Amino acid sequence: MINVMGRILGQARKDGWGSVAAKVLQRTAGKALENLAFTEPTLPVRPEDIVDFDVLCAAGNPRPRTGSLDVGWVCTPPGPGSGGHTTFFRMVQGMADRGHRCTLFLYDRNSDEVSRHTSTIRQFWPDLDAHVRSVTEGFEGMDAVVASSWPTAYAAAARRGPDIHSFYFIQDYEPYFYPRGTLYWLAENSYRLGFTNIGLGEMITAVMKAETGQEPAASVPFACDTATYRLLETKDGKNTRQGVVYYAKRAVDRRGYLLAKLALEQFHAMHPEQEIHVYGDRISGWSIPVHNHGNLSPAALNELYNRTITGLAISFTNISLVPEELLAAGNVPVLNESPFAAQVLSDPDVLWSPAIPRRLAETLAEAVEAPDISGRAARIAQRQRLDWSASRECFAAVLESVCAKEPGSPRLP
């Protein structure tokens, strides 16, 4: 007891009683939660959807389909600003634009009610031409279904009939989201459920081959929304920039939130005059001043990219949408060195850094200290970039050819 009191008094002298109180509350809350059933681990998939793999893989022998197709797209309920859903919905709209009828089947582990999710979809993706239903209504009338993540792959596999063509749009190697264990294993096995796997970018192909011994049937290129993200003209004709932008996802460790926080705190010590803008999650408790923007519309985000000099974009798995969008707006992305990202992004204007806070901070400092920042921004933004229309065309070509059972389905770049 004396030792404990000594440690408490020592910390109070060093950090103040506020720090002591915060730690006591944190530990008390944690202990209380341990005694509640709420802390029991839960699966992100309904248990009944994890059935025998032989059953899941028995996809049948669907008859050929041509012409206008009815396509079901299985996804979890989206939240505002979800990059994964945005990319998935681009593929949906690409098929709708080609005359196919599209239906979103929402997979919510806890509820079959879709009305509130439909409102979110209509508000934040207003141009999406698709009906919305619950996956529990089944796929009757569908010619094909497309899963979008490992839980939705199980949901689709458990409900598809023998005459439905099934596809799996893989945007990241999802086993890497977890430590080795149940969820890692379930995610890895989702690639073996009899779908036509379509990967986004070459990272997926390389990692799947190394980890599972199999490659996706096809891949579509990673691209950029070049209509939204672009260099904006200013009233005085000058592109005056100041500060750093960062996309915060606190609960998504593969996006490096804790590392970014340390790096930005060290960068602020080097350049306190440079504002730090954070969007996505609203953050608190940092030791430095930041501008909290929360979720931004694509147009507002492009304006922020145009106002700032550089952006911190960390990822430990497949690359995010952020680096390409920054570049299109003339902003310099600072990325952690990663073989995964390097397989997708080879732009000469990207600044790469070891994933060490000090080195990331120094690389950000290099970006803001460069001469002729406005001229550099203009040069960066003028580079040709692949638009998502090319990816949509590739995806549609794979789906249509597989449904038609054309020989030699395309292996696309």
DSSP for 33-52 reads: HHTSGGGS---SS-GGG---
Contact (CB, 8 A) for 154 and 43: no
Residues linked to residue 291 through DSSP beta bridges, in sequence order? 277
Please give the backbone phi and psi of residue 255, each rounded to the nearest 5 degrees, phi first. -95, 5
367 falls within a domain: yes
In total, how many domains does the chain have?
2
Residue whose structure tokens are 């696309």: 412
Q: 185 and 78, same structural domain?
A: yes
Q: Beta strands of 257-379 (E only): which ranges?
A: 276-280, 291-294, 310-312, 332-336, 351-353
Q: CA 25 to CA 29: how far, in whole Å?
A: 6
Domain limits at 119?
47-223+389-403
Sign of the CA dihedral running 138, 144, 149, 151: positive
Q: 82 and 216, same structural domain?
A: yes
165 falls within a domain: yes
Sign of the CA dihedral running 231, 234, 238, 241: negative
Contact (CB, 8 A) for 64 and 125: no
Q: CA 110 to CA 292: how far, in whole Å?
A: 32
Q: 399 and 378, same structural domain?
A: no
Token pair of 340, please? 């995964």
Q: 397 and 381, same structural domain?
A: no
Predicted local distance difference test score (pLDDT) of residue 24: 57
29 falls within a domain: no
Per-residue pLDDT tens over the stretch 327-358: 999 999 999 998 888 888 888 999 999 999 99
Q: CA 192 to CA 171: how far, in whole Å?
A: 16
Q: 395 and 360, same structural domain?
A: no
314 falls within a domain: yes
Q: What is the mean pLDDT of each run of 10 residues along the chain (413 residues)?
A: 58 62 58 55 90 64 94 96 94 98 96 92 96 96 97 95 95 96 96 95 93 95 95 75 96 95 98 97 94 94 97 94 96 93 87 97 98 95 94 97 74 41
Q: 319 and 281, same structural domain?
A: yes
DSSP type of residue 214: -
Q: 282 and 148, same structural domain?
A: no
* Amino acid found at 318: N
Q: 214 and 75, same structural domain?
A: yes
319 falls within a domain: yes
317 falls within a domain: yes
* Amino acid found at 104: L
1 falls within a domain: no
Q: CA 167 to CA 86: how far, in whole Å?
A: 18
Q: 334 and 212, same structural domain?
A: no
Q: 135 and 98, same structural domain?
A: yes
Supply the CATH number for residue 265's domain: 3.40.50.2000
Supply the CATH number for residue 66's domain: 3.40.50.11090
37 falls within a domain: no
DSSP type of residue 223: -
Q: CA 96 to CA 103: how far, in whole Å?
A: 10
Q: 248 and 175, same structural domain?
A: no
* Kind and range of the H or E run holding 103: strand 101-106
Q: 335 and 193, same structural domain?
A: no
